[in-house]
Structure 1
Amino acid sequence: MAESIQDGPDDDVVYITSPPAEGIDPDASREFLDLFRTWNGRDIPLASYYIDNLSHDIEFQNLMRWVTDPDTGDTAMHVAAAVGNMKAFDATAQSFGREWDRNSWFKTCFRAVFFLRNKAGDTIFHVAARTGRLDVINAAWHHFWQFETDVDLLWVPDYMVATVLLARKNAVGHTAADEATISGYADVAEWLNQGLDRVTLGGKRATKSRMARMEELVDGRYDIDEHHLTWDQIPRVGLYYPPKYRS
């Protein structure tokens, strides 16, 4: 059974917060991932609802994190990045509804999928860099440079998030820039290296101890290892809507 929690200590609403122990059906997983190869992002959440053996009890943003290719470990974002389907990046955002980016819970769930790694240790930045897809990298990068309108206890400075995204290494010790260089995409490697140089102030923020601490803080915010979030990790949703929208 999947782990479930209440929305809060005084609420009766229960949400599934971790993948089912028996896993997700392999055929359903492949069918879900196939949607991200060609479909428009706006249509993916609805289309996924009609996949046989894919539980309707799991919210779409959790499917984005928990459904992986049985062979490669690729997530939906890895698949979209590999084929350059940037419209698929909008799939999760659309599922959250209007003004989702003002909500700390939604923003965390959305950003988390960009950090997930497949069995080779690749993030979507490694995948895009290896195939020379600078357009994909730019599209993903856009989602990490929005001003935080609500500062909370779990807030992590954007430069830390950006640093971890660009400096993270895969299973063979390569950054996304390394993969671009090896694959012969000098323009992509230059973009990634310049980006990392800027967010680390020319390497001044990139000492071994500082990098380890930044990874710890960022992974803690986006719960990379456990792949689930609990009600007490994220501020209540109601606090982030104007009074006229509150019940």
Structure 2
Amino acid sequence: MKKRRLNWGQGARVVICTSVLGLVPLARAATEEDPWERINRPVFSFNDTVDTYAFKPLAQSYQFVTPTVVQTGIHNFLSNIGDVKNLTNNLLQGKLHSAGVDTGRLLMNSTIGLVGLVDVATPMGLKRNDEDFGQTLGHWGVGSGPYVVLPLMGPSTLRDAPARYIDTYAAPYSYMDDIRTRNALYGATLLDGRSQMLKAGKPVTGDKYVFVRNAYLQGREFKIKDGRVEDDF
């Protein structure tokens, strides 16, 4: 039986056909995880417009007028508050070692670190965790559900969106009677978060909506599985 050899043109066509067929499952997966794309895209465009003309310029102004040492202190203070959320969700997930690290960070930074203004825990080897109730639900097998873009709040999923509300009980905002102080602290958290994104931000080429969606979903899977994610390639 003779073996048939493909010429360059035939080989190229085979490669192209194989590549296209390989993209079919990926396209189907994207459709399944984002069935509400027709609604999500307008919300994404609205958020992007508000960010471009309001949030981003505000964050840039904050970075310009605020000394770096002050920015660092504010970020450390807010991160110290966030460690309460990390501790709570690590306990809910049964991650006792990580919960111990969170406890150590809270004790060290809240005392020696002057209520969190100075991060003394990280140099001591107590690295900050990043946990939330959405990850806790995912840890116990709750599926993410469809991708959702929330007005002003950005990318989320049907599982993660309501979980954000649960996480507010681990933050001090819910327990503050002084409205001005509560709003100021919440606003500082949003401003610090946006300014941190400026440092890591890079121009996005192509479909920005798809880029943000894929980055969010992959990032959530990475966090829920604690980095143990199989590479499709």
Q: TM-score w.r.t. structure 1 length?
A: 0.23
Q: TM-score w.r.t. structure 2 length?
A: 0.24
- Indicate the structure whose relative CO is greater, using CA pairs within 8 Å and at least 6 residues apart: 2
User: Quick check: which one's helix share is greater?
Assistant: 2
Structure number, greater radius of gyration: 2
